[in-house]
Amino acid sequence: MPLSKPAPDAIAAAIRADALAEGFIACGFAPALDSAGFSDLVEWIEAGFAAEMTYFADRLDAYRHPSGVLPGARSVVVLAYPYPATDPIPPDLTGSKIADGNGTGITIHGRVARYTWSGADYHDVIHPKLKRICRSIKQLSPEAHARGIVDTAPMMEREVAQLAGLGWRGKNTLLLSRTLGSYFFLACVLVDIELPSDTPFETDHCGTCTACLDACPTDAFVAPHVLDASKCISFLTIESRELIPESLRHDIGDWVFGCDVCQEVCPWNRKPSRRAIAAEGSDASGHQSAAQPSRGRMQLAELFWLDEDSFRERFRKTPMWRTRRRGLLRNAAIVLGNTGTFDCLSPLLSGLQDTEPMVRAACVWAIFQIGERSPLPLPDHVANALDQLRRVESQAMVLAELEPRQG
């Protein structure tokens, strides 16, 4: 006699147990439904708020229903995985300078987003866990098909997470939990079998609070729940492949990769459950990386000595790989321009010789910013380097940074 097929309740219970064993801190189940927020997504794209992220429009139709990710999807398992934890430096929530050890307010470090603090790419950490859960589902229900995703598929994860009872969508657009705050990643497992659903989370616990909207250094929120990505520091320093607009460079402050301001000020993150953060300096699996930023900060000067090969060797398995070498050096130059002194000129002078025009342009801007803050003129060798660049430079974006200051 063949073994009886497990009931849906039993399959769901097994999935939940597997998820918790893999280090996920929350697990919920939602039906695969047409997206209630699809029209909002269309309006957001049409308003230009997706900025350079053309993949939203390119895959727009797939966002209508989870079957755009897994054909025949009937249920979605929504999972929360904790950010890595370490002791942060006291944040200056305006995004401006952070005092160093001697209290001078000068630093050649930049802040990085909390999710990077283990140094490991969270996709590399979470995907193997999802694959094991998918294999377990297949063993329980051989006819089932399952697919695990972590923010790279056309999926309305936060909407589905709310349906699965994990939390509500905050005014900063992130999923918030009363017990976990927002310091976690969302992942999903889509299945083409029907599983029992959890009760949707329907209460908005943000109330009248506007802390996240008020604290954003670049005023990137055009309304509650609506983010203009073209002004968001996380987008500008991670996703953007262009030179950051001059009007936003000062507001970036010392953020070299990402930004956590709208999370740092959120009352729900002040005392998150200890389950919402992993072991210090690691992810929930204990993974640590040689590229782990020190207490949420990254040394900037040394980045300018890395060629493409050495950059790849150091950062290929880290979140910083997303922005590539030229993006990270662009960001580093802007932070040095915002926070540096004459002591920071050496790496910027090196950057003037970089093969990437965007890096050269950012370094020109940074040098002039440092010069404008100083009561002393730029040293002769620096002024000479800028004059030499004017004579040989052919790229418009670099010339634009040099031109207004001629004469």
With beta carbons less than 8 A apart as the criterion, state whether 129 and 22 touch: yes
**CA-based nearest residue to 364, from 386, 379, 384, 344:** 386
The catalytically annotated residue of 9, 58, 61, 151 is 151
With beta carbons less than 8 A apart as the criterion, state whether 247 and 218 touch: no
> How far apart, in whole angstroms, are the C-alpha atoms of residue 126 and residue 185?
9
> How far apart, in whole angstroms, are the C-alpha atoms of residue 358 and residue 126?
33
> How far apart, in whole angstroms, are the C-alpha atoms of residue 316 and residue 321?
5
Q: Please provide residue 282's backbone torsions phi and psi, each rounded to the nearest 5 degrees.
A: -145, 170
From residue 191, how far is each of 96, 200, 357 by CA, in Å? 46, 19, 46
Q: Is 354 a catalytic residue?
A: no
What 3-state class would DSSP assign to 111? strand
> What does the radius of gyration of the chain's CA atoms come to, in whole angstroms?
23
Any idea what the Cα angle at residue 309 is, between residues 152 and 345, rounded to 5°? Answer: 100
What residues are labeled active site? 151
